[in-house]
Amino acid sequence: MSAFILGTDHIDYLVSAAVGAGIGGHGLYWDGERVEWHNAHRVGAALLRENIASVSFRYAPHDGGLPGPVPNPVPEDYGYQPFLRVETAQVLKAIDCYEYQSCEHPGWNESEARRFCDVLRRRSSTTMPGYDGALWEVSRPELLKRSLLTHRQCA
């Protein structure tokens, strides 16, 4: 699959997850500032800029623009439109897609966007159903005991 410019809905979804990343009382930061409603548009524009830099590095722009929505979104025109609800599995998949579309240029590994994705992924994974009740340290006896309990509850 080839890289493409993401639509603003995708960017909005990631930023909405970050704004809600007070997940467990922790914030998510961009360039030293906590991501909140008042600066969400700046974070989204920066994410979009990183995505465009990646696709531009991979493909030379031509008259029709770069692969993705037509016309391609412009970071300076980006206006954050929040999603009021985000789901953990979709956030994780959206991060994977964003990284795939945005990792093509040499500056990616040291970018703020990559750090954003790493932190958002870690924070989001802790909200998965079953996370709180999962074992911190895995042992076969403890897993077996839990498995038997679950099996009995289903029977």
- In-domain check, residue 2: no
> Which residues neighbour 104 within 8 Å (Cβ) at sequence distance 6 or greater?
3, 54, 55, 57, 58
> Could you report the per-residue pLDDT of 129-142, keeping only the tens digit for each?
888 888 888 888 99
Token pair listed for 93: 């998949």
The share of the chain scoring above pLDDT 70, in percent, equals: 88
Whole-prediction pTM value?
A: 0.86
pLDDT, position 153: 57
Task: Please state whether 130 falls in left (phi above 0), alpha (psi between -120 and 50) or beta.
Answer: left
Q: Tell me if 101 sits within 8 A of 55, measured CB to CB.
A: yes
Give the domain extent around 114: 8-154
Q: Can you tell me the mean pLDDT for 74-92?
A: 94
Residue 1 lies in a domain: no
Residue 3, in any domain of the structure: no
Residue 79 falls inside a structural domain: yes
Tally of structural domains, the chain: 1
Inside any domain, residue 83: yes
- pLDDT: is 102 or 131 the higher one? 102
